[in-house]
Chains A and B, each alone.
Chain A
Amino acid sequence: MSEPFKNPLVSTDLSKGSVLLEVDAAVYPLEALYGASYVFIDRAFVFLEKPNEQRYRVTISPKKPGADEAALQALVGEFSNELLSCAWRAQITQANRAVIEAVTLRAVAGAMGPPSLSELANFDFTDAPLEDPLGIAMSWEEKYKKKDKKPDAPVAAAPEKTAAPEKT
C-alpha cells in the first residue's frame, strides 16, 4: 500500500467510505473519464457529476466496506493514473487512427479469409440495407436530381426512408 498523499483535488470521507476527486474539464475529455470509471466498476461504485462548467466530480465508493484512509487514497491514485492513461490513449488513437485501422483490418481479414459457399448460401440478402442518413450510398443523379422531376424508384442501397439528401 502506497503512502497517503495530500492533494487539494482529493478528499476522503471515511464515514461514507468514499473518496472524491475533482477533475479539470479543460484537461481531461469526457470520454477519458468514462473509460477510466468503467475500469473500476467491478470493485467500486463510481458516481460522476458536473458541478460546474470547469469541473467534473468523481465519487468512488469501494464495494467492499471498511476501506481506511490509505486504501481510499490508493484507489483514487490508481483512478487518476487510469484517467491519464485513457486521456493520452484517446489522443494517440486519433493521431494513429489510419494505421491502427489498417493493421486491424488486415489482421482480422487475414484470419477470417473469404466466406465459404455454404456461408454465402446462408447469407440473408433480404436484410434491409445499412442506414445511410448522409446519403453517401446514393448515386450522384439521385442526390442532385431536380426536385420537380417525378422521383425514380429507390435504389437498393439507398431506400428513400433512410436516404436524407442534403438541403440545396
Chain B
Amino acid sequence: MNLSQLPKLDTSTQAFFRFRSLPNTKTVLLTGLEGNYLVLKDDEFARFAQGAVEKGSPLEKRLSDANFLRATFDTQKAADKWHDRRRFLDYGPNLHILVVTLRCNESCIYCHASRANMDAVQTDMSKETAEKAVDLIMQSTNPNVTIEFQGGEPMVNFPVVKHVIEYAREKNKAAKKQLEFTMVSNLSLFDDEKLKFLLENKVQICTSIDGPAHLHDKQRKMPGGSAHQTAAHWIKKINQAYETMGLDTTLYHVEALLTTTRDTLPLWKEVVDTYAELGCRALFLRPVDPFGWMEKTAQRVEYPRAEYMEFYRNAVDYMLELNRKGTQILERFASIFLTKILVDDPNFLDIRSPAGPGIGQLGYNYDGKIVTCDEGRMLYEGGDPSFVIGDVRTSTYRQIVGHETVRAMAIASNLDQQPDCVNCTYNPYCGTQTTHHHKNFGSIFGRMRESTLCAVHKGIQDYLFERIGQDDPAVMDVFTKWTTVRPRDHFLQDAAKG
C-alpha cells in the first residue's frame, strides 16, 4: 500500500499515526505515539487514510479503541502510557559490568572482548580497584542494581569475583539496593567448590552456546578439549542443582547466548534443537557485532542481514512449532519486542530510546577505567577511548553519569532526533546503539538505512507484526507467554543479612 495510490486523502479525522506496509502481506501497520498499534487490511487502510471510515462500523470501533481517531482521542491515556513507557528515565544505571580480567582459556573467532592469553596477569582487576567500583555502584540512583562479572573469562580471576560478592553484600547493608549478581562464563573453569559458592551466593549464571557441538567447537577453541562438551556438562549440572534446591526449573536455569556467524545460518534447526536438548528455555539469536576481533575476522564471519533474517524467521517459526508441541523455548529478541508491543517497556538497555549507556548501565574495566557500556570497553581495548568517562580511583558518581559523553549518547540514541527513526512505524518499540554507529560510520548518530542494526530490528518487527496480523490463536498464545515476566526473587540478595 502506498499513499500515492489513493485518489484522495483526508487528514481531518485521524489522530497522529505512523504507518508501514508489512512485506509479503496485504496489510498496513499503524502505530501511535504511545505505542498503540493496529494491523489493517489494505482496503481498510485506504478508508482510514481517505477519512471514509463508516460511522458505527466495526472498523471505526477498532480504530477508536486503539486511539487512532481524532474525534475520540484519549489524550490522558496517551500521555500516561507515553510516560509509563519511559519511566526508566527517572533512575540511573542498574546494570554494572565488572571486567575482572581479560584472560581467557578459550579463543573465539569473533571475540568481541579482545581476550588476553592466560599468562597476561596484568589484565586482572585488583581487589582495591574492585572495591572502588563497588563503592561507586552503590551510589546509583537506581534501587535495583545488578553486578555482572565479565571477562575474558571471569572465573580466571575467581578470588576477585568472591571478594566483590562479599564486599558488595556488606556495603548493601547500608545501601539497601535490590542487589543481584550475574556471571557470563564459558563454564570450563568451574569445579564443585566454585559452583557451591556461586549457588550459595545466588549468582545467576549465563554462558555461550553457538549451536551444535561441531559448530561451537569450531568457533570456540579450547585447548585440550571440547568447549561444547564442557559447557553442556556444567549447564546440566547447574540446572540439576537448581532442581535439588527446590527451585522451579522453568524459571531458574542457566541462560545461554548465541553469536550468529555465517556458518550458523544454515543450521537454524540444529541450533534450536541444541538449546532445547540442553534445557535452555531462552535462545537469543544475536548477530555478530563489529567489535574486538571482528575487525580481523569479519571476512570469514560476517553475512548480509537479509540472510540473517531468513535464518531468524526459520528459527522462530520452528520454535513456535516446538512450543505448540509442548517444548517451552523462547527467542529473546522476539520476547523483548513483543513485551514492548503487547505489554510495556521491559527496559532492555540496548533497545530503548534513549539507550542505556551511562544512564542505564556502566562498565568497569580491569584497569579501573569506567566506560559507558560493554561495547565501550570493547572499543577501549581496541585502542579507542571514546567511551571512557572516568576512573574508579578519581571520579565521583555524579561526574560519571553527568559526563558530556553520556549526555551526547543520550541525545544521539533518542529516536526522535534520528533521520528515518523519527518517522519509522517501529519508533515506539525500537532503539539504537551509538557505539555500533561510532564503529561503523565514525559518528555516534550513524545512518539508519545503511545500519545492520536497523536492518535486524526492522526485520524482526516486520516478522512479529506479520504474525500478529495473521491473528492465529495458537501463535498469539505463545507470543503472550513470551511476554510474561515472572520475577526471579531467589536471585535477590538479602540486604539485611549482607
Consensus secondary structure, chain B interface: loop
Known: A82-B447, A85-B445. A111 touches B411 (CB 8 A): no
Consensus secondary structure, chain A interface: helix
What chain B residues lie within 8 Å of A27 (beta carbons)?
Answer: none
Least Cβ distance of B356 to chain A in Å?
10
Judge if B159 is at the interface, Cβ distance under 8 Å: no
Known: A96-B417, A110-B91. A39 touches B396 (CB 8 A): no
Judge if A115 is at the interface, Cβ distance under 8 Å: yes
Known: A111-B93, A112-B141. A103 touches B416 (CB 8 A): yes
Least Cβ distance of B165 to chain A in Å?
25
Residue pairs across A and B with CB atoms within 8 Å: the count is: 84
What chain A residues lie within 8 Å of B418 (beta carbons)?
Answer: 89, 92
What chain B residues lie within 8 Å of A85 (beta carbons)?
Answer: 419, 445, 447
Docked-complex contact B92 and A81, CB < 8 angstroms: no
Least Cβ distance of A100 to chain B in Å?
5
Least Cβ distance of B362 to chain A in Å?
10
What chain A residues lie within 8 Å of B279 (beta carbons)?
Answer: none
Judge if B442 is at the interface, Cβ distance under 8 Å: yes
Least Cβ distance of A115 to chain B in Å?
7
Docked-complex contact A89 and B92, CB < 8 angstroms: no
Docked-complex contact A107 and B354, CB < 8 angstroms: yes
Q: Of the candidates B93, B359, B417, B443, which one forms a contact with A93 in the assembled complex, judged by CB atoms under 8 Å apart?
A: B417
Judge if A104 is at the interface, Cβ distance under 8 Å: yes
A46 to B90, CA, bound (A): 42
What chain A residues lie within 8 Å of B411 (beta carbons)?
Answer: 100, 104
Judge if B238 is at the interface, Cβ distance under 8 Å: no
Q: Which of B58-93 contact A (CB under 8 A)?
A: 86, 89-93
Judge if A45 is at the interface, Cβ distance under 8 Å: no
Judge if B251 is at the interface, Cβ distance under 8 Å: no
Least Cβ distance of A109 to chain B in Å?
9
Q: Of the candidates A43, A103, A112, which one forms a contact with B414 in the assembled complex, judged by CB atoms under 8 Å apart?
A: A103
Docked-complex contact A103 and B407, CB < 8 angstroms: no
Docked-complex contact A113 and B92, CB < 8 angstroms: yes
Docked-complex contact A112 and B442, CB < 8 angstroms: no
Judge if A28 is at the interface, Cβ distance under 8 Å: no
Known: A96-B422, A111-B358, A111-B359. A106 touches B90 (CB 8 A): yes
Q: Which residue of A lies closest to B443 (CB)?
A: A39
Judge if A49 is at the interface, Cβ distance under 8 Å: no
Over the window 402-413 of chain B, the binary record of Cβ atoms lying under 8 Å from chain A Cβ atoms (1 yes, 0 no) is 100011001100
Docked-complex contact B354 and A104, CB < 8 angstroms: yes
Known: A104-B407, A107-B89. A119 touches B398 (CB 8 A): yes
Q: How large, as a class, is the contact surface on chain A?
A: 20 to 34
Q: Number of B residues contacting the other chain (C-beta, 8 Å)?
A: 31
Judge if A40 is at the interface, Cβ distance under 8 Å: yes
Docked-complex contact B419 and A88, CB < 8 angstroms: yes
Docked-complex contact B406 and A103, CB < 8 angstroms: no
Least Cβ distance of B142 to chain A in Å?
8
A110 to B92, CA, bound (A): 6
Docked-complex contact B401 and A111, CB < 8 angstroms: yes
Q: Which of A15-43 contact B (CB under 8 A)?
A: 39-40, 42-43
Docked-complex contact B398 and A112, CB < 8 angstroms: yes
Judge if B441 is at the interface, Cβ distance under 8 Å: yes
A39 to B416, CA, bound (A): 21
Judge if A99 is at the interface, Cβ distance under 8 Å: yes
Judge if A1 is at the interface, Cβ distance under 8 Å: no
Judge if B193 is at the interface, Cβ distance under 8 Å: no
Docked-complex contact B414 and A108, CB < 8 angstroms: no
Docked-complex contact A108 and B402, CB < 8 angstroms: yes
What chain B residues lie within 8 Å of A42 (beta carbons)?
Answer: 442
Least Cβ distance of B105 to chain A in Å?
35
Judge if B450 is at the interface, Cβ distance under 8 Å: yes
Docked-complex contact B141 and A111, CB < 8 angstroms: yes
What chain A residues lie within 8 Å of B91 (beta carbons)?
Answer: 110-111
A107 to B442, CA, bound (A): 25
A93 to B416, CA, bound (A): 8
Q: Which of A86-132 contact B (CB under 8 A)?
A: 88-89, 92-93, 96, 99-100, 103-104, 106-108, 110-113, 115, 119
Docked-complex contact A113 and B398, CB < 8 angstroms: yes
> Which B residues are closer than 8 A to A by beta carbons?
86, 89-93, 141, 354, 358-360, 396, 398, 401-402, 406-407, 410-411, 414, 416-419, 422, 441-443, 445, 447, 450
* New A-B contacts (5) at CB < 8 Å, excluding given A107-B410, A108-B407: A39-B442, A43-B442, A103-B354, A110-B90, A111-B91
18 contacts between A and B (CB under 8 A): A39-B443, A40-B442, A81-B450, A82-B443, A88-B419, A92-B422, A96-B417, A100-B411, A104-B354, A104-B410, A104-B411, A106-B86, A110-B89, A111-B141, A111-B401, A111-B402, A112-B398, A115-B398
